[in-house]
Structure 1
Amino acid sequence: MRLTIFGATGRTGEHLVRQALAARHEVTAVVRGQHALADHPRLRVIKADVMNPNDIETAIRSADAVLDTIGSRDKGPTTVATDAALAITKAMASVGVRRLILISNSARIAGPGDDWCTRFVVKPLILRPLLRHSLDDMAAAEQATRDTELDWTIVRAPQLTDRPAKGSYRTAVDRNVTFGIRISREDLATCLLELAADPRSIHHHINVAG
């Protein structure tokens, strides 16, 4: 496939680029400035302002799928994920590319699939207050994505770690993964690539965990 990856130099994005190239996909990595991505015959690196739809159209044009791994590391109020999602979806609609994978977070949604403690204590009383700014941003990014006519899949992940890949992961469609506490970024990248090629995940929220 021809893949365009936003957030390609982030800790998840780097795994995603490496795995995509190893799987023989053609990759366009969108970066803001200096980067450490190694040269590769199937890798194209484009420097662009992701918040400007006109600036990223070239990176998206002719892609089979676009993967948005952008998030904010700020602890205060932020709209980074929302602004990126709005720009990316607008650019995709403009150039006629439909397939989008958006990374989000599962901490905000307490409901089916969660064990009792996670559903009624951990998420509402601990994680939501602690992560409220980033979770609000991701919620708005999700809504911006759902409001489009694109073939979107929203992937909700738990705590991300830099541990080595387990080589396996669990998913649940439109519900939480029971005891889905964490997942390695490497395993998440594997999941994202598999979902990009799976039309059954279109217009679904896929929760993933290790």
Structure 2
Amino acid sequence: MRLTVFGATGRTGGLLVRQALAAGHEVTAVVRGQHALAEHPRLRVVTADVMNPNDIATAIRGTDAVLDTIGSRDKGPTSVATDAALAITKAMASVSVRRLILISNSARIAGPGDDWFTRFVVKPLILRALLRHSLDDMAGAEQATRDTALDWTIVRAPQLTDSPSKGSYRTAVERNVTFGIRISRDDLATCLLDLAGDPGSIHRHINVAS
């Protein structure tokens, strides 16, 4: 496949680029400036302002799937993920590219699949308070994605770790993964690549965990 990765220099995005190239895909990595991505014959690096749809349209044109791994590291109010999703989806529509994979977070979704303590204590009373700004931003990015006519899949992940890949992951459709409290970034990247080629995941919220 021909893939365009946003957030390609982040900890998850960098692993995603590496795995995609190893799997034989052609990758366009969108970066803001200086980067440490190694040269590769199937890698194209595009420097662009991700918040400007006109600036990123060239990076998207002709691709089979776009993977948005952008998130904010700020602890205060932020709209980075939402603004990026709005720009990316607008650019995709302008160049007639339909497939989009968006990374989100499962911490704000307390419901089926969660054990009682996680559903009624951990998520609503602890995580919601600690992560409220980033979770609100992720909610905005999700809504911006759902409001489009694109072939989107929203992937909700729990706590991300830098642990070595386990070589496997669990998913649940439209519900949380039972006892799914964390996943390695490497395994998350594998899941994202798998879903990019899975038409059955279109217009679905896929929760993933180890």
TM-score bin, normalised by smaller chain: over 0.9
The equivalent residue for 2:135 is 135
Shift of 1:118: 0.4
SS for the counterpart of 2:205 is strand
State the alpha-carbon separation in 1 of the partners of residues 197 and 64 from structure 2.
9
Aligned residue-pair number: 210
Counterpart code for 1:193: L
Shift of 1:165: 0.3
Show CA shifts across 1:91-137 (max 9, x none): 00000000000000000000001000000000000000100000000
Shift of 1:139: 0.2
State the alpha-carbon separation in 1 of the partners of residues 150 and 113 from structure 2.
27
State the alpha-carbon separation in 2 of the partners of residues 129 and 154 from structure 1.
23
State the alpha-carbon separation in 1 of the partners of residues 112 and 149 from structure 2.
27
Overall identity of the aligned pairs, in %: 88
Does residue 1:186 correspond to 2:186, yes or no? yes
The equivalent residue for 1:196 is 196
Show CA shifts across 1:69-103 (max 9, x none): 00000000000000000000000000000000000
Alignment of 1:123-162 (within 5 A): 123-162=123-162
State the alpha-carbon separation in 1 of the partners of residues 140 and 43 from structure 2.
31
Task: Report the TM-score, using the length of structure 1 for normalisation.
Answer: 1.00
Show CA shifts across 1:180-204 (max 9, x none): 1000000000000000000000000
Shift of 1:166: 0.3
Shift of 1:177: 0.2
State the alpha-carbon separation in 1 of the partners of residues 196 and 114 from structure 2.
26
Task: Report the TM-score, using the length of structure 2 for normalisation.
Answer: 1.00
State the alpha-carbon separation in 1 of the partners of residues 58 and 115 from structure 2.
45
For structure 1, list consecutive stretches of 5 or more residues without a partner in the other structure: none
State the alpha-carbon separation in 1 of the partners of residues 152 and 3 from structure 2.
14
User: Hey, which bits of structure 1, 4+ residues long, moved more than 4 A?
Assistant: none
The equivalent residue for 2:172 is 172
Does residue 1:80 correspond to 2:49, yes or no? no
State the alpha-carbon separation in 1 of the partners of residues 129 and 82 from structure 2.
19
For structure 2, list consecutive stretches of 5 or more residues without a partner in the other structure: none
